[in-house]
Amino acid sequence: MKQVWHSRGVVVGAPVPARWARSHAALPVVFGSGSDLALLCSSRDDRGRSHIASGRVDLEAGAASFDDEPAVTIGELGAFDDSGVTSSCVVSHEGRVLQYYTGWSLGVRVPFVLGIGCAESDDGGRTFRKVSPAPVLGRTAIDPYLTASPSVLVEGDTWRMWYVSGSDWRATADGVEHRYHVRYAESTDGVRWEPTGRVCVDYRDEHETAIARPCVVRDTDAYRMWFCSRGDAYRIGYAESSDGLTWTRHDDAIEISGGNGWDSDMQAYPFVVDHDGTRHMLYNGNGYGATGIGHAVLERWATT
């Protein structure tokens, strides 16, 4: 079955309209209810460091607005997120609003190290405070290289996370190259996480170097995961599972029509949400968010 999506074009230009933002609008996250939904995304400052912007978006009108101050900013010198923070997902559960994000620090022999942070909101998701100066899921014996870009669901007493895990770095003629795929972790409280080592979405072949930004939705008949994978350039992929543990890739099922050049070279970082009876996808195009955030709607499932 093929998913036929229709692009409505760019809904957030780059950079976001905030005093500190100089480039990019990447990794969109939408949550809340009503026509005016909360929106988080990442923009870069004049030193190229990402901070997480907070705003509102009307998906039907195709309009967005932003607060002037970041919702989450970089950590103290030496912290796991002292060189950038990028948005991943938000969970609202039993009165708590938790934002999971990726923290960036710079390396020496490798260009960066990533870890998963968490911040909590007391005002419905407009502002956040970090629950810890350390990552809630960082490098361990199971994930020795990096962790990033979680998608989190709560099912009963179990918090479930699908996240990016680095499998290795490789030296090439052009420098070092990262490789990462999607793994699985669980928690009882959303803050203390136990990685299982289980690989949920693995490399398709030796040419695929990165599987990034999973977004998991549980429907009545299946778990569905949208992600992006990279050989020469990022393209949006898709997988299904009956239990959230064993996944089957169906990358050819994704068809996005209606783009006008802003996403001609790259389609990346999908975030899928249901709103007013329609399934929506926000995603990035060329340049890892340099051309802003696009909006597509699922028109139909087709047999061919």
Res 304: pLDDT: 60
User: Is residue 129 classed exposed, middle or buried when 0-12, 13-18 and 19+ CB atoms within 10 A define those classes?
Assistant: exposed
Give the pLDDT score at 34: 78
If one counts the domains in the chain, the total is 1
pLDDT of residue 215: 98
The single residue listed with the structure tokens 């190259």 is: 177
Closest alpha carbon to 271 in 288, 293, 252, 242: 293
Residues of the chain with pLDDT below 70 are: 259, 304
Structure tokens, 225: 């995961």
CA distance 146 to 136: 13
What CA–CA distance (Å, rounded) separates 304 from 292?
A: 31
Cβ atoms within 10 Å, residue 174: 6
Within 10 Å of residue 93's Cβ, how many Cβ atoms? 12
Q: Which 3 state secondary structure label does DSSP give 251?
A: helix
What is the pLDDT at residue 302?
A: 82
User: Of all residues in the chain, what percent carry a pLDDT higher than 90?
Assistant: 89
pLDDT (0 to 100) of residue 53: 97
Q: For the chain, what's the residue count? A: 304
- Could you read off the pLDDT of 97-146 as tens digits, one per residue? 999 999 999 999 999 999 999 999 998 888 899 999 999 999 999 999 99
Q: What is the pLDDT of residues 140-168, one digit of tens each?
A: 999 999 999 999 999 999 999 999 999 99
- Domain enclosing residue 77, as ranges: 2-302
Which sign, positive or negative, has the C-alpha torsion 216, 297, 237, 240?
Answer: positive
Q: What is the pLDDT of residues 28-38, one digit of tens each?
A: 999 998 778 99
Residue 232, Cβ density class (10 Å: 0-12 exposed, 13-18 middle, ≥19 buried): exposed
**CATH number of the domain that 261 lies in?**
2.115.10.20
